[in-house]
Amino acid sequence: MEKPRPGDARPDPDALLASLRQTGRGHLKIFLGAAPGVGKTWEMLAAAHDQHRKGLDVVAGLIETHGRSGTAEKLGELELLPRLAMPYRGQVLEEFDLDAALARHPQLLLVDELAHTNAPGLRHAKRWQDVQELLEAGINVWTTVNVQHLESLNDQVARITGVRVAETIPDTVLDLADEIELIDLPPGELRTRLQEGHIYRPDVARRALEGFFREGNLGALREIALRRAAQRIDKDVANYMRLTAIPGPWPVAERVLALVGPDDTAQNVVRHATRLADALRAPLVAFHVERGDSTQVQTALDLAVQLGGTVVTVTARDLAQAVLDYAANNNVTHIVMGRTTARWRPRRRITEALTRQATAFTLHLVPLPAAPPPHPSAPARKGTWEPYLLASVLLGVVTLIGYIAKDYIPQEAMGLVFTGLIAAMASRSGRNAGLFTAAFGFLLWNFFFLPPLYTFSVSDPQDVVALLVFLLIGLLTGQLAGRVHLEASAAAARVEALRRISAFSQRFSRAATLSDVLRGAAEEAAAITGAGIVLMLGANGLEPEARIPAETALDEAASAAAEWCANHDVETGIGTSTLPSVAWRFVPLHANGKVSGVLGARPPAVPPPLAQTLSTLAGQASMAIERARMAMQTARAQAHEDSQKLRTALLSSLSHDLRTPLTAIRGAAETLEQAGAALDPATRADLLASISQNTALMTKFLANIMDMARVEAGNVTVKRERLRLSELIEAAISRVQGAEYTGVNIAPDASHALADPMLLEQVLVNILENAVKYAPPGSRIAVTVTRQTDKVRIAVADEGVGIPPAELDAVFDSFFRATRGDRVAPGTGLGLSIAKAFTEAMDGRISAQSPRLDLPADGLPGTIITLELPAA
């Protein structure tokens, strides 16, 4: 085992932070069963009785006995919390009473069946969420769950047993446990308990023995439970080591670390490490230290994820020390890395360093591949000689200037000038350019500025020392500046990625429609890659929804890669291990746990930061697309609901408001037809007046229906004219019968408005008719016109029964008729709705106020309907 270096033996900050989060939180212990019937509840009750005898306040919050008398008797003297009765579909369900448990607040609470689904209407959908709230309240909880209820094992258990477990818990709930106790029985003993009736009724037990409880199934579940418990123990050991600053590794469990570097052996290392991890049944971690962009690195990391491993990427100066630190902190036992034959490659130095220092780890060197893997999609590197050409030009310029001014610039000063040039080139173009500048600067300084001139020999011993110091400083400066350049590039890439992610979120949050989201995602992807983009959606066949540029098209190979990406939920194309020869990179888009489409980009190369940013963009776009679709569905549902309400109201209005005048007309007509000659002239006149009046009512009703249909269809055409309001108001008053007016008051500066004369007259008629309808006989109506900045306000005030405050917002809705005590006013309920639609079409606004503040408090409240229109 490695000994800690002085000053390094200190607790891990993340472990300390996790420990602090537990302060004030309840302690959670899970009794994990390998299968149903192994005795989880029995063991929990037995341990609870021990705690109760020690004086601990123990309460059984909920215990599921499943009809087993032994389990019910095991409760003994423990206090049992009453269950909560929940009515559901004609029956009463008994559930855990969370509020009662919080109010009781015992020192230890027993809650059985952690994976249980609560009845609808309770605060939480799942029982494990109840347990979370109890823990946050500081209550210690003991609970039970079987291993087959873990969400990550759902498919695995279904394949083994042929039974899909419906009730599951997230694996993170298991991570919340401070303590896990595995309850296990050998398969033969468990089947014997089942046959003896200790688990299920005899008829159910027979079916279970032939199905879920087959001996092979129980053995597989037992192995899964043991491994999950071992994984948790291994995690606890690693956390303890980090918390107490114990240097690792401790040889308690196997863990494999694959070192992924920017070379052709990266994928081979991942494959070898995967085989080793499978043989050891150990977790695999692909570890990469950022030193610059590389397509091989991202391909290998993608391969590691596809093979079931996890990826860790860090930034560090000392590669070997970064590997050792991570391995020691995470209890790694095996380190896998590639072999190389290059003398000065960083891989060789890492290999030598790990061979010397990693004495507590098993080091695996993967053989070189027989031939380097082909990368037909990787483009040739452009501009390789540009930094060296620039360095040569600058060296020539500096040398020429120094040679011309050699009488004024000492030879020692020229050495400093060359050193500065070395640092500048290394900072700009990297380590190799800095070393190139150092080597040729050394030769030029010697040849042109140190005697004897124009030779590479040195006569003065001091100059020899100066040359050697210059060369050493130049090499170190180039090396350090190059390293700073790489780290700065990596940091800039990360900052740019974060900026892009922030821009994605802001843009997608502003997108109002699905087309806005799709266009935004395509434009952001094009801005990232600087290449062609295609975004395709479809559950049963992909269809392009957005392209940049518009003429972008996929060839047959790219279409096949896109279909593979959608069907298998993996990234495909350039820079991946799936169809890497395709020049496109396809990333799946998810919705409700399924692939709903793909995002395709055609960049010249896909370095790791770009691949990560594309994946992040795809994730953000997926959520935005799903949000836009849900908004569209909600809008369609709301529109359908509004349409149904309008249809129902229209049918109701037709059945009432047409039937009443039609009945009156029919009765009057039949009376005239059958007894017209016998009727006196006054009676005949009354009947004819009734026919005329009811016909006018029907005509008015049908006109309102037609006006509302024009509004709903958007066929209202507005002509804005400069209108004299006095003439228009008088025309509207003349059309409304049965009203008394106190007068029309128009302010001098409010005599004209910009509006449509026909629409405004109809609006005023509808408002006046509404005032007459709800005003008692003898009451008066006032019309007042005033000016407010660039608006004209027309107020129609009545002395009627007013509008209840709760109905003020609904009075302008279609088919709404305000209630007045136990009656509903006659009419269609369309008058004010049409007035509102026409007013808004003229860029105006309509509002209602009730009661009137200028009327006596002991009288009727009255109503004021106010129009606001643009002033002329």
Task: Quick: pLDDT tens for 544-579.
Answer: 888 888 888 888 888 888 888 888 888 888 877 677
Q: Is residue 175's pLDDT more than 90?
A: no
Specify whether the CB–CB gap between 194 and 209 falls below 8 A.
yes
Residue 658 domain-assigned (yes or no): no
| Helix H or strand E encompassing 144 | strand 140-146
> Of 91-100, 316-325, 497-506, which gets the smallest average pLDDT?
497-506
Q: Are residues 71 and 199 in the same domain?
A: yes
686 within a domain of the structure (yes/no): no
What CATH number does the domain containing 618 carry?
Answer: 3.30.450.40
**pLDDT tier, 1 (very low <50, low <70, confident <90, very high otherwise):** very low
- Quick one: CA torsion of 352, 353, 355, 357, rounded to 10 degrees? 160
Peptide bond into 851 cis (omega under 30): yes
The reply to whether 205 and 63 lie within a common domain is: yes
pLDDT, residue 374, reads 44
User: CATH number, domain at 138?
Assistant: 3.40.50.300
Residues 228, 317: one domain?
no
Comparison of pLDDT for 131 and 318, the residue scoring more: 131
Residue 457 lies in a domain: yes
Residue 824 confidence (pLDDT) above 70: no
End residue of a domain, out of 305, 332, 366:
366
- What are the backbone dihedrals phi and psi of residue 220, each rounded to the nearest 5 degrees, phi first? -65, -45
Query: Sheet holding 572-573: strands in order across?
Result: 543-548, 532-537, 594-602, 585-591, 572-573
- Taking residues 122-134, report their average pLDDT: 88
Q: What is the pLDDT of residues 199-234, one digit of tens each?
A: 766 666 667 666 677 777 777 777 777 777 776 766
Residue entry with tokens 């066929």: 715
Beta strands 594-602 and 532-537 are: antiparallel
Same domain, residue pair 31 and 91: yes
In terms of domains, do 360 and 336 share one? Answer: yes
Determine the pLDDT at residue 8.
47
Domain count, the chain: 5
Of 764, 700, 704, which Cα lies nearest the Cα of 728? Answer: 764
pLDDT the model gives residue 153? 75
Strand order in the sheet with 108-111: 79-80, 58-62, 108-111, 140-146, 28-33, 179-183
Do both 472 and 523 map to the same domain? no
Tell me if 26 is assigned to some domain. Answer: yes
Residue 733: domain span: 718-870
pLDDT tens digits along 355-378: 888 777 888 888 776 544 444 333
* pTM metric for this prediction: 0.39
Which CATH number is 786's domain given? Answer: 3.30.565.10
Q: Please check whether residues 459 and 340 belong to one and the same domain.
A: no
Q: What percent of the chain has pLDDT over 70?
A: 73
Confidence of residue 706 (pLDDT cuts 50, 70, 90): low
Strands 721-724 and 823-824: unpaired
Res. 238: pLDDT tops 70: no
Instruction: Summarize pLDDT for 755-789 with one digit per residue, the tens.
Output: 888 778 888 888 888 888 777 777 788 889 999 88
Which of 434, 453, 488 is the endpoint of a domain?
Answer: 488
Contacts of residue 366, defined as CB under 8 A and 6 or more positions apart, other chains included, come to 265, 268, 269, 272, 336, 337, 338, 339
Contacts of range 706-715, beta carbons closer than 8 Å, 24 or more positions apart: 707/762, 707/830, 707/834, 708/814, 708/830, 708/833, 708/834, 708/837, 711/834, 711/837, 711/838, 711/841, 712/646
Question: Which has more pLDDT, 833 or 133?
Answer: 133
Structural domain contains residue 821:
yes
Residues 815 and 770 in one domain: yes
Sign of CA dihedral 466, 469, 472, 475: negative
The three-class DSSP label of residue 58 is strand
Question: Has residue 659 been placed in a domain?
Answer: no
Q: Looking at residue 140, what is its pLDDT? A: 92
Mean pLDDT lowest for which of 26-35, 38-47, 316-325? 316-325
Residue 719 backbone dihedrals phi, psi, to 5 degrees: -115, 115
Strands (E), 439-593: 532-537, 543-548, 572-573, 585-591
What average pLDDT does the chain have?
76
Q: Pick the last residue of a domain from 614, 630, 646.
A: 630
> Quick one: average pLDDT of 850-856?
80
Give the three-class secondary structure for 28: strand
Same domain, 527 and 589: yes
Within this chain, do residues 219 and 327 fall inside the same structural domain, yes or no?
A: no
Closest CA to 71 of 110, 25, 111, 39: 39
Give the SS3 label for residue 7.
coil
How many other C-beta atoms can be found within 10 angstroms of the C-beta atom of residue 845?
14
Q: Would 654 be classed as within a structural domain?
A: no
pLDDT at 323 over 90: no
Domain for residue 692, yes or no?
no
CATH number at residue 348: 3.40.50.620
Residues 285, 418 within the same domain: no
Q: Do the Cβ atoms of 836 and 812 come closer than 8 Å?
A: yes
Do 338 and 398 fall within a single domain?
no
- pLDDT one-digit tens code per residue, 378-387: 343 444 677 7
In this model, does residue 443 exceed pLDDT 70? yes
